Amino acid sequence: MEIALMQAKKSCPFIHVASASSLRRLTTGSSNPLLSKAKQCPIMSQAISSRSISTSAVNKVNSHDQGIVVNPVSHGGLKKHFDYESFYQEELEKKHQDKSYRYFNNINRLAQKFPRAHTARVTDEVTVWCANDYLGMGRNPLLIDNMKRTLDRYGAGAGGTRNIAGNADLHLRLESELADLHHTEGALVFSSCYVANDATLSTLASKLPGCVIFSDSLNHASMIQGMRHSNAAKKIFRHNDTKHLEELLQSVDPSVPKIIAFESVYSMCGSIGPIQEIVKLAKKYGAITFLDEVHAVGMYGPRGAGVAEHLDYDLNEKQPHAGNGSILDQIDIVTGTLGKAYGVVGGYIAGSAYLVDMIRSYAPGFIFTTSLPPAVVSGAMESVKYLKKSCTERNLQQVNTRTVKSRLGEIGIPVIPNPSHIVPVLLGDAAAAKLASDELLSEHNIYVQSINYPTVPVGEERLRITPTPGHNLPMIEELIESLDKIWNRYDFKRVEDWKSQGGCAGVGVTDSIEPNPIWTDKQLGIIDNNNNNNNNSINEKEQQAFFSSE
């Protein structure tokens, strides 16, 4: 009983102050005083009530099984079986009608010609402007050579789940590298970050007694799915609105476990989450933070740990370890991906040793799936280690992003304002976004995927452009000229048009303040001795360094 009592004391304020002997006395007697006490508890009373209803339902079923014969329905006459294929067709037609049907282009990225790719015909090449391989690490020779050697030595597959033959030294070393990256005690690798988010939130929130999740309104589908699977109560706060978040936190009992789930870089609009403010609120109201750094790892910070590391750039550059007093040390749970800036595939969480071990022990999404292949894990580890030291790739990516945003602004192409590496070009109509995407591909040999509902709200459809270190100045000019031609041909709305309509998604909003890039000129090294911006020279210099790695 003492062991169970120790566990219960962590979560129940009544048991926390009660001794083992007093609890034993409450369990004696026919009136069961302990049950009476439990019914006075706001959490246990609901649990007892739910169990009573559930038990009654089970008893009814059992009595039916024992005493009542189930009569079969008639299978004769003119009744037909359910038409499954027609149902599928009707559901797809809904997608076509609301213009949200997704078309997948046949794009085959060429490692030796990054960021070029061929389409269905190998002779037809296009420039890719929308990949999430933000830094071109997927074609980095260091990774490719490393993965080839690992493949030769350990074979193609992992051989099983982490519990059965799939837990190699490579997996453990990768997790150590990730824990070090995020200043945490531990890390856990998943098959993807969708799985990592779903499994962690669903497991944690379902285990924490009476847990309430506070979720940003623009959180990724994987986080939303995890919240649904947890069956925990949730409260949604307006995007990046910490005042609204605090109002919601004030509505929940201080003793109730709480999770604040949010992102650092919101990938469809490029906005940055207010990490420092949310951490302060979490401390104030007894919540833990769940920070999704999927679109930020490898991209921000002196070692690529993400936006949380970047906020204390100089400190983390000089003291790249836990306990240095940075905001990075105060994040409870970080999730990231190995499939975007790191150029491979997979996802992970990082946090305290107990948190990681609990998810490892309870999360079905981790336990019951085959682990990542050794070659993938080895390549991911090489990428993480490389980007801890090299800033060449992320610096050039940021410079190219600035150039693209600036050039689009000069000709009035509407870019949704943001301080990150994402370049969302607003069209505001699903059919128009698809038309622009199709014409870029068919007439200009440029691939940019259109983004529509449910990924973004109806009326905010867009093209999502992601510059990389491999996009040189001629490629950038080709993109700008092609977009300008398409906008002229179809009279798509420019910034002034949106402004005359009152603005949309941050475009054309009167008296709005353009956000400063999160990467400063000093961090990028693009200020010369005369304190003048020198974007072109750094572009050329970094470009040479990037391609010399081949």
CB atoms within 10 A of CB 230: 22
Catalytic residue among 258, 340, 388, 434: 340
Are 407 and 482 in contact by the 8 Å Cβ rule? The answer is no
- Known active-site residue 37: no
Res 457: pLDDT: 94
Strands 186-190 and 258-263: unpaired
Quote the CA–CA distance of 271 and 411 in Å, as a whole number: 23
Res 529: pLDDT: 46
Q: What's the pTM value of the predicted model, to 2 decimals?
A: 0.84
Strand order, beta sheet including 450-451? 423-426, 462-465, 450-451
- Which tens digits make up the pLDDT trace of 44-99? 666 666 665 555 554 554 545 556 788 888 887 778 889 999 999 999 999 999 88
Q: Nearest-CA neighbor of 440 among 410, 473, 478?
A: 478
Res 7: pLDDT: 55
Residues of the chain with pLDDT under 70: 1-34, 37, 39-40, 42-67, 527-550
End-to-end Cα, the chain, rounded Å: 64
Amino acid at 183: H
Find all residues with CB under 8 Å of 116, minimum gap 6, and list them. Answer: 109, 110, 125, 126, 127, 128
Over its C-alpha atoms, the chain yields an Rg (Å, rounded) of 27
Res 459: pLDDT: 96
Are 199 and 226 in contact by the 8 Å Cβ rule? The answer is yes
- Which tens digits make up the pLDDT trace of 146-199? 999 999 999 999 999 999 999 999 999 999 999 999 999 999 999 999 999 999
Res 469: pLDDT: 97
Three state DSSP letters for 270-331? CCECCHHHHHHHHHHHCEEEEEECCCCCCCCCCCCCCHHHHCCHHHHHHCCCCCCCCHHHHC
Quote the CA–CA distance of 89 and 93 in Å, as a whole number: 6
